[in-house]
Amino acid sequence: LQAQSEVSPLPSWDLRPTVRPAVGWAHVPAVPTWTGVALLLLLLLMFACSSSCVRRSGHFEVFYWTHLSYLPIWGLLIAHGPNFWKWLLVPGILFLLEKVIGLVVSRMAAVCIVEVNLLPSKVTHLIIKRPPLFHYRPGDYLYLNIPSVARYEWHPFTISSAPEQKDTIWLHIRSQGQWTNRLCESFKTSDPVDYGSKRLSRSLKMRRSQRRSQQHSP
């Protein structure tokens, strides 16, 4: 609405929110409204759980599981916008193919931990049997999943061994969060035979006996 001031000849604008008859919340479709609200809440939750104070304070699982909410987000977007599925179709198919191929490869290329060294400063040295077709360059990393520690969690770690080392792969993992702490504690307390290697069992038992002898030596 434009109003003319009696004091000044210049016009001034007065904006007032109004709702005309037959226009209001009662006539807004319910599905886009509530799906939009749900999308906003999920995105805010993901944003809050992405902060470094959550990821680096021993609560990585909170960050991991909240970010799996991208699946309901896709469903809400399809319900929110009738044409969204057209834009999701091709990248969604590629994404599903990548997940299926990754799952098949991870099950076919399951590796075995053949030796563990518990080093000072809470560093766990894993020696893993190298798969036949596994190639890498210096500075590369791999994703590690140990079901006995966390069944659905995959964590990236830099490979510390040289590519010329044909039989094994080395990883040096420092305990800084929930998963890495559980990994270190599991090798300290659990039966190493559960990890599928008699050599690992002998290695751990020998190192435990060496630590005990060092502690009792004058």
Q: Is 104 a member of any domain?
A: no
Q: Do 57 and 142 reside in the same domain of the chain?
A: no
Contacts of 138 (CB under 8 A, 6+ apart): 162, 163
The tens digit of pLDDT for each residue in 8-36 reads 555 555 555 555 555 555 555 678 888 99
Of 85, 102, 132, the position where a domain reaches its end is 85
In a domain, 108, yes or no: no
Beta bridge partners of 124: 118, 173
Average pLDDT on 91-105 reads 88
The CATH number of the domain where 152 resides is what?
A: 2.40.30.10
Rounded Cα distance between 63 and 26, Å, is 38
Which amino acid belongs to residue 8?
Answer: S
Q: How confident is the model at residue 154 (pLDDT cuts 50, 70, 90)?
A: confident
| pLDDT reading at 218 higher than 90 | no
Cβ neighbours of residue 117 closer than 8 Å, sequence gap 6 or more: 124, 125, 127, 203, 207
Domain boundary, last residue among 85, 103, 138: 85
Claim to verify: residue 48 and residue 118 sit in the same structural domain? no
* Residue (of 102, 186, 116) closest to 147 by Cα position: 186
Strand pairing partners for 125? 117, 172
Nearest to 123 by CA among 208, 204, 180: 180
In a domain, residue 127? The reply is yes
Is residue 103 included in any domain, yes or no? no
When pLDDT is cut at 50, 70 and 90, the band that residue 190 belongs to is low
Q: What are phi and psi of 111, to 5 degrees?
A: -105, 165
Residue 2 resides in a domain:
yes
Q: Looking at 85, 100, 132, which one is the last position of a domain?
A: 85
Note whether 171 and 160 are within 8 A (CB): yes
In a domain? residue 207? yes
The answer on 145 and 55 residing in a single domain is no
Strands (E) located in the chain: 2-4, 11-13, 113-119, 123-129, 141-144, 155-158, 168-174
Number of domains forming the structure of the chain: 2
**Percent helix, strand, coil in the chain (nearest 5)?**
50, 15, 35
Q: Are residues 117 and 209 in the same domain?
A: yes
- What pLDDT score was predicted for residue 7? 54
pLDDT at res. 192: 46
The whole-number pLDDT of residue 197 equals: 42
Q: Print the domain residue range for 198.
A: 113-216
> Are the C-beta atoms of 141 and 157 separated by less than 8 Å?
yes
The answer to whether residue 100 sits within a structural domain is: no
Tens digits of per-residue pLDDT, 69-85?
Answer: 888 999 999 999 889 98
pLDDT digits (tens, 9 = 90+) for 102-136: 888 777 766 788 889 999 988 999 999 988 888 89
Residue 101 within a domain: no
Contact assessment for residue 11 and residue 2, using Cβ atoms and an 8 Å cutoff: yes
Determine the pLDDT at residue 150: 80
